[in-house]
Amino acid sequence: MPNYLRPRLSNATVFFTVTLQNRGSTTLVDNIDTLRTAVAQTLSERPVAIDAWVVLPDHMHCMWTLPDSDYSTRWRLIKSRFSSALPCGKRRPSHIARQERGVWQGRFWEHHIRDQTDYDAHLTYCWWNPVKHGLVEHPKDWLFSSVHRDVRFGDGHAEVREITHATEVQA
């Protein structure tokens, strides 16, 4: 089995992609309240600053600024709490052996944000991902996105990012 080496940086901003085992399912949006509960419980115990978050039917992207480097524990708890609240479906023998419910892909993808340009690019990626997947025509039309919070609380860059991205998409 590969030995993944992850940076151990406190106060880092990290972009994540977390994906369901069954690509093409709608489990996350169908069970959004269960996901919200799992996230709220975990982050109340292990706080982070949520810079961005978007939940799509079968995966999610987010950016967190963490006080420590232990994001793996946070994701393990979120995934476990969400999975345990769902009815147990058909599982492969490998899931049973590892005491998994077979809801999530085994790992997640993370990227440490390097600078403001990188931050802006990943924030924009979160906002525009539902559009990319053909779920809506505009980021504000997707219910499960932090774009609503950012616009509501006056992120001064929100409209600029939207115009910039819309121009790039049309080009």
pLDDT digits (tens, 9 = 90+) for 63-74: 999 999 999 999
Q: DSSP of 2-45, one letter per residue?
A: --------TT-EEEEEEEBSSTT--HHHHTHHHHHHHHHHHHHH
Query: Residue-wise over 121-158: b if at least 16 C-beta within 10 A, else e?
Result: ebbbbbbbbbbeeeeeeebeebebbbbeebeeeeeeeb
pLDDT of 86 reads: 81
pLDDT of 32 reads: 96
pLDDT of 3 reads: 58
Q: Which of 141, 105, 140, 136 is nearest to 16 (CA)?
A: 105
pLDDT of 53 reads: 96
Tokens representing residue 21 in the block: 């085992």
Query: What residue type is 141 in one-letter code?
Result: D
Give the domains, in start order, of the chain with CATH numbers.
Answer: 13-170 (3.30.70.1290)
pLDDT of 2 reads: 59
Which residue ranges of the chain lie beneath pLDDT 50? 91-100, 156, 160, 163-171
pLDDT of 103 reads: 86
Give the end-to-end CA distance of the chain in Å, rounded to a whole number: 43
pLDDT of 102 reads: 65
Distance CA 6, CA 31 (A): 30
Q: Which of 50, 54, 47 is nearest to 14 (CA)?
A: 50
pLDDT of 153 reads: 59
